[in-house]
Structure 1
Amino acid sequence: MEPKRELSSIDLRALVTELGRYTGAKVDKAYLYPESLLRLKLRDFDHGRVELLIEVDECKRAHVADAAHVPDAPGRPPNFAKMLRNRLSGADFAGVEQYEFDRILTFEFERGDEDTRIVAELFGQGNVAVLDETGEVVQALSTVRLKSRTVAPGAQYEYPASRLNPLEVSFDAFARHMNDSDTDVVRTLATQLNLGGLYAEEVCSRAGVEKTLGIGEAGEDEYRALHDAIDRIAEQLRSGAVDPRVYEEDGRVVDVTPFPLEEHEGLASEGFDSFNAALDEYFHRFDRDGDGESVEGSGSGTGAGAPEKPDFEAEIAKQKRIIEQQENAIADFEEQAEATRERAELLYANYDLVDEVLSTVRSAREEGVGWDAIAETLEEGAERGIEAAEAVEDVDGSEGTVTVRIDETTVELDATSGVEVNADRLYQEAKRIEGKKAGAREAIESTREELEAVRERRDEWEAADGAPGEEGPNADEDDGDESEPEIDWLARSSIPLRTTDDWYERFRWFRTSDGYLVIGGRNADQNEEIVKKYMDRHDRFLHTQAHGGPVTVLKATGPSEPSEAVEFPDASVEQAAQFAVSYSSDWKDGRGAGDAYMVEPDQVSKTPESGEYLEKGGFAIRGDRTYFEDVPCRVAVGVQCEPVTRVIGGPPAAIRDRVATSIELEPGMYAQNDAAMMVYREFKQRFGDQSFVRKVASADLIQEFLPPGGSDIVE
């Protein structure tokens, strides 16, 4: 089975209770790694060092990690990490909440001068937004501007629209939602009740209800059994009576759950004391076993057929980026070493104060006083205005350390040693950091040699085959009519980006296999706009017979071209009909096929019949219609590499020959954002240039071409 990469809403419900145990911990530092991994280092009296990880890229997770599982600190912090350090340093962790039943966690931090919230969106493309005490976005990893919501600096943060919470729904409401579906039980639980695929199957297993049972065949007994099974899961989560499991298959981890699943009875599993510990172990092994995504894709990068010119400029740019990163690392080492030396010198400059702190703590420990009592005594001393006590910021009994703040600089001290030993330790640490510079300089020299080698290979290639745009000595004298060899885009290690900004891209759209443009509305406003502004007299208007679907217009000519009558090929008309059906309520309701009709533009009117009413985005159709019956609900999504680089989607027959690779979908159980992520992962496995996929075929771009409702990938 495919390893788990994202936490579900049920997983988060179990996790939130456990994360609350760390309330009161103080934030020490924030780090941001590539692939959108955020690390918050905290200190807690009861638990000692606390490492909170939040990841919102390929993996979407949040949990406290064992220190041994935490990656080394990255180099120079990006602006996002610097902003977090400024806002959170010394702040208290005040708790975490799950937003309704969504895959969103809100972490609260309190500090005397300002409070901060971190919202982790663990769905779709993933995002982390930092909010001030008023709910205004200070900064976000990704800016989101949709009609439904905005996440951008300076704007009030907007949560997504509420979803039904299956853990709190009454039986009557549960039955109503089930009866509104016309598919089987498990798909209804997954999509209409928001349980997702795995837990929908688990509920069926626990209830003893056949998963494929049609809703029309299910009665009150089945509904009661299903609702009771959901209630039992909800009670487990409310009480915190979890029994976490990490599941393995063929020696690799494949899932982690807050309680054992009947659906996983055939898998080997390991139990854990807490769900947080299980999550930490699972994702640590997931990365270690090689299931996690690598930062850079692999692939040699030559196409099939005649040899193609290697992308020397891309390789040169890559080597230059590496050199820049290495130079930044050296600067960072110098900065760290200097800051460490300054802390050592600060101890000597404030020798008497530091010595008083350390002597007080050592004397108390020798008399058998506990760490908590020492911390309380120092707090009382600070309240009385004792200078040495006021300098103490933290006492960590688990580590045997005392942290003091001197001149706005914090220094962690070994409470068992004196001032000289602590200062010497800092000087030695500064030397160790400076020692890293030598290795970094050697790495820069090696990279510069590689850069020069790439430039030499480029010059040799151009000398042999001619500069770009010129005839080289090996060029064929007779071009003839032979087509150029087909490029194997999937194997190329670097694919150049070529983008456009066409007027129709804000609508649903595709080009038929004959080259005709088809556009459709994403909402009622766009339906109105397409008919009023973009439908000409020689176009064709199509719509599904089912209520709720896009206005679909098969264009004879573009908006800036003179309108001309054309004889549309049958294939283009059929593909437009399939488009109208696939993006309609037929798909959303899980039907495998639907009916559509086509009319001339002059048959479409906004004037209703007498006594009737037209809602926004609706139209009256008069006269004869051409019908298309039992049109399959199918779409394909593909990655186009020439003449432009982008995601496109639509009827499979119209997409296949225009893309380097495509994936076909049908109505199914996976929510739109989940299906988009599945398609994205599959594309990343197919392409050698994974950075190209991230840029032109991210999950949010793919989602724009998926119909509303659940989907399954057609095998």
Structure 2
Amino acid sequence: MSSSVLELKRRLTSLDVAALARELGEQLKDCRILNVYHKKDDETLFLKIRLGEENRFLVIHPESHTVLTKYEYRMPSQLTEFAKTLRRRIGNRRIRKLAQVEFDRILEIEIDGGSRLIVEHLPRYNIILESDGEITAVLKRRKMRDRTVKEGERYIPPPSNIIHPLKIDARMWSERTVKEFLKSVGYFTPYMEEVAMRMRMDKDRDIKGIEKDLMKVVREIYMEAVNSRSPTIYYNGNKPVDVTPLELLYYEKLAKRKYATFNEAVDEYFITIKLLAEKRKREEEVAKLAMEKKRIIDSLERRLEILRERARVLRELGHRLMADLYEADRILRSGVSEKYNIVEVKNDRVRIEYKGVVIELRRDEKTASIVSSLFDEAKDLERDIRRIEERRGEIRRELEKLMKRREEIKVKKPRVKKKREWFEKFRWFISSDGILVIGGKDATTNEVIIRKYSREDEPVFHSDVPGAPFVVIKRSVSEVPENTFMEAAIEAASFTTKAWKLGYASLDVYWVERRQLSKTPPSGEYLSRGAFMVRGKRNYFKGVPLKLAVGVFLMNGEEKVMVGPERAVYVHCGRYVEIVPEGFRKSELAKRIHKILTQWGYEIDLNELMEKLPAGGRIL
């Protein structure tokens, strides 16, 4: 194999689809589809899946591949009709089965309620929703010779000449070549070459005499693929060229990287080639602009050359005419000259050629006046030359910027979806003493924290302001240091939304043990969601300041935004931004903090940051 003839894999083969279907079928069985999104520009379909304790996206690129991605994508803001239909019909339903159809590049996802989502990864790609044998939604309506794909029609699979590797008998092909046989089972490059290399034979030879050995190798490769033996990405230089569910001899001379699963390898491969394509597109756009700038510079330089030569010749001719007035008068009177080439003579003017430049002289003017006109024209030309030189300099500087921009073009991968800890559904921080502190965001999370995430002997902080959060220190009261008590009080005060919005400088906060809280109201009264009765003594912190710090905390190798009391954020984050009530709206405050964190070298998602901030404020 020569690296110079390698073709980039742009879509999965039948064998690849078989391997991927095996993995995804096991992983997604009984998972619930939470939502559906559709990007109109590239027809990508996103199924938001509840997988265990986290949400993931099954990304369906109908033209090339399907993958359960680890990356975060920005979902389209506009809801297409196709997405609306899918949401209505398969939203909040469970996946019962995901499998390959025969041995074709087609995936079938069986969903609760009798629906099937069919993904045809074919040259004429499509995504079809079928219920009870009838098409209920389709990405692309198509009318073909052998079938019609549109709503209301019965779904008919596309015709296929591919035979499953486990169902074919090579003896039926004894009069054909190995290459023809391998094509019939969907083994194209690189799998065709892999078979030939493993058998040490020419793929153009006849099958006769090797049927048994050939079938053995074909099935061996199939089983290795569907069992995802050594999923691998291969690189030509630093650019990926292929991804396979098994390691191939065919690519033994290429650099490679192995993955735990084929799905992971497919995810990485296709996101990488997409980014490289985007980078190449941007480079080509810049190169096109640069070529236009060079064309303009070349044109200006040709113009400058002509103007400089004419200005030089005009001055030289002016000096010569002044030095030989007799010859000048002779030209004007009679239109003849032994020293200059007379191009044209008319009643009122004479055109002469001097050093390749044609110059017109008026016969009714005196020689001194003509010479003065020659010098004036030369001066005008020299002014034009200076302006053109300035313009050329500007364009050269623009070209230099373009070339520098081309060298600096980078495309970023989407962010890898972070693993969220259980407490990240709430407000949280780690105290300066290393203790987890959690707080409610609203009435619902207040209720959940007290009912499910607090123990009887843990201290709970609150204030008497309506809508105040419950803040819990996740440690027994007797084990909580004084600093952590104070920090929890600051958290409770600062995230009391009403006080923060009204610009309070401080607030009184109290704490009680969890066992002092009850959902049993006095007779005749009612407790709303997130509200609890407090029984017994309240321990107050008077005049707790409303002030928070924002920093970036490294947890289990991942950068997480931490918003909390200044001392706690300082201890765990080092650098931080202080904020207090009153000032900018929440969105503007988030942008300003995000800019600072970015300047410090952190890659933080703006939405994640905004989610953790209080209701606006200003930076100290």
Pairwise TM-score range, normalised by the shorter structure: 0.3 to 0.5
Q: State the TM-score, normalized to the length of structure 2.
A: 0.46
Of structures 1 and 2, the one scoring higher in RCO (CA 8 A, sep 6+) is 1
Higher-Rg structure is 2
Q: State the TM-score, normalized to the length of structure 1.
A: 0.40
